[in-house]
Structure 1
Amino acid sequence: MDKLIWAFRALCYSAFFGKFGLPSYLGKPIFLKGIRYVFIGRKVRIFPHLRMETLAGGSIHIKDDVVISQNVHITSAGTLEIGKSSLILANVFITNIDHDYTEIGAHVVKQKILVKETKIGDNCFIGMGAAIMAGTILGKQCIVGANSVVRGVFPDYCVIVGSPAKIVKKYNPQTKVWEKTGE
């Protein structure tokens, strides 16, 4: 029954998004801002309590067949992309924004924002509570461990964990095995 309500909600909200591919559904969001710059593909499942916002002409592109679990916060002031068939678990934060903090005596919120490209590749898995920070590029089928704080460029087929996150495994196409990296 919930999913029928979520599908109806998606249909009602779809006119306000830049694109909202169907059949997709949307659980009850907490906060949406600038969603005319949010482009959602087909078969996207968004669970309740989403906070999604675009600022300063930013955009968010969520490709086909993505699952976004509950309590996820996505914010963009540039172009932020989530690749097709990715799974984002609960309590995840994804951004392409950093706040400048260098002006002494000025509130951080009143200082300029710094935008760095952030992209999640196709078929990625983002574990519960992870933070995908500005300037992060994840290749295809990257696995991000729970509560990891991720910043940087990561190649296809790797497992990333920790705070700060590091690669701990990579897929070896010759042996067809996920191998520890020793890093």
Structure 2
Amino acid sequence: MPKIHELADVKSSYIGDGTRVWQYSVILEGAKIGKDCNICAHTLVEGDVVIGDNVTLKSGVYLWDGTRVEDNVFIGPNATFTNDSMPRSKVYPEEFKSINLRFGASIGANATILPGVTIGRFAMVGAGAVVTKDVPDCAVVVGNPAKIIRYLKV
């Protein structure tokens, strides 16, 4: 059974066993969150978001429609995700671009991930990086725009 703080606003019925949702988190109807996740305080998960098992979502993270997060992903504090490459007030695209975080990926604090990007298996995005294109499996990227500095052995 999930543990949901009394000050969280959880509308989804798809929260896995052992998942903890902390205060001031908002999870919209339709969102799917796996088991044994940690959804920290001051987070938002929109309705068309899928989060796997054993995921950590640190404070200040907002996951917008179309985001897909596989198992064992770490998302650091205040990491920013986007789903509209040409945002305008009250003007919506026909379809939001998804962001995909593959198994075991880690996103550093304050990183920005642009629409349509896939972060590969076990890849690491450094704190403050701006990711404008796909990151291969096991790559470590830093900077603005993010560039590969090495590969991890997994």
TM bin (shorter chain): 0.7 to 0.9
Q: Tell me how far apart the structure 2 counterparts of residues 153 and 118 of structure 1 sit (CA, whole Å).
A: 10
Higher radius of gyration, 1 or 2:
1
Equivalent residues in 2 for 1:1-183, closer than 5 Å: 7-9=3-5, 16-29=11-24, 31-32=26-27, 35-54=28-47, 59-76=48-65, 79-100=66-87, 108-113=88-93, 115-171=96-152, 176=153
Normalised to the residue count of structure 2, the TM-score between the two structures is 0.86
Structure 2 spans left out of the alignment, 5+ residues: none
Instruction: Kindly report structure 1 stretches of 4+ aligned residues shifted beyond 3 Å.
Output: none
Contact 1:47 1:68 (8 Å CA) reproduced: yes
C-alpha RMSD of the superposition: 2.3
Normalised to the residue count of structure 1, the TM-score between the two structures is 0.74
Higher strand proportion: 1
Q: How many residues align?
A: 151
Identity across the alignment (%): 25
Higher helix proportion: 1
Which AA in structure 2 matches 1:67?
T
Q: Tell me how far apart the structure 1 counterparts of residues 147 and 4 of structure 2 sit (CA, whole Å).
A: 41
Seen in structure 2, the aligned counterparts of structure 1 residues 124 and 7 have a Cα distance that, compared at 3 Å, is: same
The SS at the match of 2:60 is coil
Which AA in structure 1 matches 2:114?
M
Seen in structure 2, the aligned counterparts of structure 1 residues 49 and 125 have a Cα distance that, compared at 3 Å, is: same
Q: Tell me how far apart the structure 1 counterparts of residues 14 and 124 of structure 2 sit (CA, whole Å).
A: 28
Q: Tell me how far apart the structure 2 counterparts of residues 162 and 144 of structure 1 sit (CA, whole Å).
A: 9
